[in-house]
Copies of this chain bind each other. A is one copy, B any other.
């Protein structure tokens, strides 16, 4: 099967997005996110061999936020395998309102690794296994993206921490069920640092490519088994976009993971990975222009999994 002409398709999408009014509003709970101009738009496609195409602000660093949850999941799954699933589920979580009641109803086991409670558990476990969850993540991302300058943003991490009462509540609540190993302040420090990672569309499309390569890293060594890579894609599809996972599957039809910084990564298994960024969000926390661009991408290329 020939590859589509990704360069031409990206140009066409960028033009269409340019002409489309309405970009949503940047997240405003911390200043660094609120300050981004919603007119930013960047998009990158990486092929499994490391070729990368881009358009617009595709080399501009932005705050990755929840996108890092995918990498933390993969890094822990690579280390502990299926034992992870005794501590976090892999079912969609229903709406945000339920996060706490479900946690209570299910005895401190979060529904999936991509809601905050679940990501806290995964970070906790990775930290126990490595002694440095955030450092493990950073090292992996620098290598896979080929960008040694990738780093956390201490100011954003501090802002997250200052607004971190809800995450602290989740962590203590799960600790009361014995589902957290590390002291809560240690865990939160690790977690907020991960959220603060700054990277570009190019960086993230490349760093995600192991999921299009069925688990192989850029250097050809194996991070995940073929089956595990498929499983991470499945969890992204069913749980990757907050309470809009069904809608995202319906419109875009690709495994994806969004962050409140306005970025979204997506995977066409075996074919390519994508990262799109535009800071304006819809009411469910996903980038307005980002979802629209991915929707156009699957329509123009026919690359949906469905």
Which residue numbers of A lie inside 8 Å of B, CB to CB? 1, 89-95, 97-98, 100-106, 111-112, 165-166, 168-173, 175-176, 184, 227, 229-231, 233-235, 237-239, 243-247, 249-250, 253, 255, 269, 299, 304-306
Q: Which residue of B has the minimal Cβ distance to A243?
A: B91
A234-B246 contact given A91-B92, A93-B94, A305-B305, CB 8 Å threshold = yes
Selected contact of A94 from candidates B92, B165, B176, B237, CB within 8 Å? B92
Counted per complex, copies of this chain come to 4
The distance from the CB of A218 to the nearest CB of chain B, in whole angstroms, is 20
Q: How far is the CA of A11 from the CA of B229 in the complex (A)?
A: 28
Instruction: Decide: A238 and B230 in contact? CB cutoff 8 A.
Output: no
Shortest Cβ distance from residue A174 to the other chain B in the assembled complex, whole angstroms:
8
Closest residue of chain B to A89, judged by CB?
B246
Q: How far is the CA of A171 from the CA of B90 in the complex (A)?
A: 29
- Kindly list 11 other residue pairs between chains A and B, CB separation below 8 angstroms, not including A92-B92, A168-B169, A230-B253: A90-B247, A91-B246, A91-B247, A95-B105, A97-B104, A97-B105, A100-B103, A169-B169, A169-B176, A234-B306, A237-B237
